[in-house]
Structure 1
Amino acid sequence: MKKYYRIIICVAVCLAVGYLSSLATQSSIKTWYPTLVKPFFNPPNWVFAPVWTLLYILMGLAAGMVWNAYDKNSELTKKGLLFFGIQLFFNALWSYLFFGIHNLLLASIEVILLLLLIYETYLIFKKIEHKASLLLIPYLVWVIFASALTISIWALNR
């Protein structure tokens, strides 16, 4: 039963981070964001909430699975969860930089750092629990897309 609680806690934390990130987004999504020039591949606004909700759930499942492997390799698990926490912080920071303070350049730089942190987290998770690492692949792919989108919006609006 303990392993399910760990997964539930991780999913709840990820969804909470997503919710808190959305608070920075909400104030700008109807005012500032529509004024930006966007690339042709910019998806409609309604796509973001369901995609991010699914990604936060997958991230939480992955982190919970890794946490459950603590007894097998505590040092590597600590490292994996540390990287997971750092990338989760950077995930939230992007929303603040982009939507909160409207700094497209900093958001572009930060999203590349986020991408690298996610990739490192994926590599560590792969050593601990292969199935958990697979759950991070959609997140990694989405942030690659988000990186291209962020950098494109910065380039079109500088």
Structure 2
Amino acid sequence: MANWAVIGSVILPNTGGWLNGLYFAGQVRKDNEKSWYDDLKKPSWTPPKWVFGPAWTVLYSGMGYASYLVYEECGGFTEEAILPLSLYGGQLLLNWAWTPIFFGLKDFKLAFIEIAVLSGAAVATTASFMQVNKTAGSLLLPYLAWLAYASSLSFYIWKNNPKIEDKKQ
């Protein structure tokens, strides 16, 4: 028998990521031609574009399952669950906001500031989850590591690329 709370908890964070990915995919990948993203100065340790989709799917799934564990441990949306699940929801919204800032606005400075704020929110969420359920908190550790890596990429791109004005492509 399916546990719909688990399934929903895992699908929720992925939905925002998938929608962002679908909407902004044309910004990164064009058929038989380079996009503005390809022309950016990126560090040598930038992963291939195909890595991002699977990596985020795994990270979002872990985050979602962690939120389910907190929900279950607290007995649902109880007073005990308010802080950890509110922090989770807030950092999830911040997470989803980065892609439109970077790929939509092409504002690399704002994208770096945003991911720095997101990272702080994710650390607070992880600490809050750890207090409720150690497994839930531990499931967010790969996410924190990826955010540190993504933040370094975002910083490098901001510092090494002039602001891209909206170009007709």
TM-score interval, normalised by the smaller of the two chains: over 0.9
Q: Retained in 2: the 8 A contact 1:37–1:153?
A: yes
Q: Which amino acid aligns with 1:54?
A: V
Q: Unaligned stretches of 5+ in structure 1?
A: none
Q: Within the alignment, does 1:11 sit opposite 2:18 as a pair?
A: no
TM-score, length-scaled by structure 1:
0.93
Distance 1:73 1:48, change over 3 A: closer
The structure richer in helix per residue is 1
Output the TM-score relative to the length of structure 2.
0.87
CA distance in 2, matches of 1:32, 1:115: 26
Residue of structure 2 in register with 1:126 after alignment: 130
> Pairwise mapping of residues 26-45 of structure 1 onto structure 2 (< 5 A)?
26-30=25-29, 31-45=35-49
Percent identity between the two aligned chains: 35
Greater shift after overlay, 133-142 or 63-72? 63-72
Q: Which runs of 4+ in 1 moved over 3 A?
A: none
Equivalent residues, number:
157
Alpha-carbon distance, 1:14 to partner: 1.0
What is the RMSD computed on CA atoms of the aligned residues?
Answer: 1.7
State the partner residue of 1:64: 68
For the residues of structure 1 that align with 2:85 and 2:47, how far apart are their CA atoms? 31
The farther-off stretch of 90-99 and 24-33 is: 24-33
On the 8 A contact 2:71/2:77 being kept in 1, the answer is no
Name 1:82's counterpart in structure 2. Answer: 86
Please say which structure displays the higher CA radius of gyration: 2
CA distance in 1 between counterparts of 2:145 and 2:82 reads 25
Question: Is the 1:24–1:100 Cα contact (8 Å) retained in structure 2?
Answer: no
> Which has the bigger relative contact order, CA under 8 A and spacing at least 6?
1
- Cα deviation, residue 83, structure 1: 0.6
Give 2:130's aligned amino acid. Answer: K
Q: Which runs of 5+ in 2 are unaligned?
A: 30-34, 163-169
Q: What SS does the corresponding residue of 1:68 show, helix, strand or coil?
A: helix
Equivalent residues of 2:87, 2:121 under 8 A apart: yes
User: Which letter maps to 2:7?
Assistant: I
